[in-house]
Amino acid sequence: MGDDPEEGMLSWDESVFRDEHVFEIDYLPETFKHRKGQMESLTYALRPAVRGSRPLNVMVRGPPGTGKTTAIQKLFDEVGAQTADVRTLRVNCQVNATRYSVFSRLFEGTFDYEPPSSGISFKKLFGQIADKLVEDDRVLVVALDDVNYLFYENEASDTLYSLLRAHEEYPGAKIGVIVVSSDPALDVIEELDSRVQSVFRPEDVYFPVYDSPEIVDILEERVKRGFHEGVIGREILDYVATLTAETGDLRVGIDLLHRAGLNAEMRASRTVERQDVTEAYDKSKYISLSQSLSGLNDTERRLLEVIAHHDGEQAGDVYDAFHDETNLGYTRYSEIVNKLDQLGLINADYTSVDGRGRSRSLSLSYEKDAVLNRLD
């Protein structure tokens, strides 16, 4: 058997994966490691809701890939298992980046069907949600995940104001808010209007980047659940963990394990080798870029493409090229530039230009080919 060239090779109907879903973005791990303190803080804030009162508001902060969304999902599952009198709803603000679209998702979560696509005002939409909460005597806990996208669209203050003041306009409505930000440069409280700052006094829960031992521990658990025994050796796991630690994003490591496994299968191998990981890393390291691009509309993607072809040029020159293609005005152009800058997709730095004073130069934060390939 030891001399059999077919030994260690997969047949066409075999897989290195025990459960491939373990490596998908929406997978909720049974054991949520190294976030005990954060979970205790979140539980403390939501405990009043289980007793029928308004919960404490919470601000969850931390870089991408540090477990924030998983924590919210785990917490909401626990609340749902304890009582039916608390409605928990998570809104992805990367997809729903306006006040109206946020409340449309809240309407859908409250009534289990979507609101009319047109002809219903925000006031009526909100009123129906609040009336239903009062009628059912339910507490609503809203998690605005990736709330930074509401700030990028200047919608955060209006959205939070409506939620935080709901009990004044609709007596008996009990709503708690969890804002989740993945933008380390965003000072959530400072960027809100004064009318919102006066009522928004949230508990602050911070999610730091996982350290190397924590990354190894978490990835090892995924390996046990996701791969058949012996597919990932210790040396390979440590290599994946090292690459993950360099990015500070646990999602990179999880995606890297998945892609490396697929690479091994392409070679019909029963084990993942270093070359499988190295090749996979060229794609996995851009998971944050892919996530950011997925939230852009066609116009925003078009400007990013123009910047890629005019990398390092002055904002006015980039606008000329963008205007020729879209005919959009400078105000809207400037808004999109600011959003791309806030997302970390570009650098919009002010520089001195002879005879023109100070002007912004626009450059990509990632390699040109990496951006253009993912825009196609």
Binding-site residue ranges for ATP: 66-70, 210, 222
Can you spell out the DSSP letters for 142-163? Answer: EEEETTHHHHHTT-HHHHHHHH
Q: Compute the 3-state secondary structure of the chain and give helix, strand, coil in percent, each to the nearest 5.
A: 55, 15, 35
Name the binding residues: 66-70, 210, 222
Q: How far apart, in Å, do the first and last CA atoms of the chain sit?
A: 48
Tokens 């609101």 belong to 115
Can you spell out the DSSP letters for 288-312? Answer: HHHHHHHT--HHHHHHHHHHHHTTT
Alpha-carbon dihedral 28, 278, 244, 282, rounded to 10 degrees: -80
* CA dihedral for 131, 134, 138, 141, sign (positive or negative): positive
Is 307:372 a contact under the CB 8 Å cutoff?
no
Give me the residues paired with residue 331 across strands.
none
Is 94:146 a contact under the CB 8 Å cutoff?
yes
Is 133 strand, coil or helix?
Answer: helix
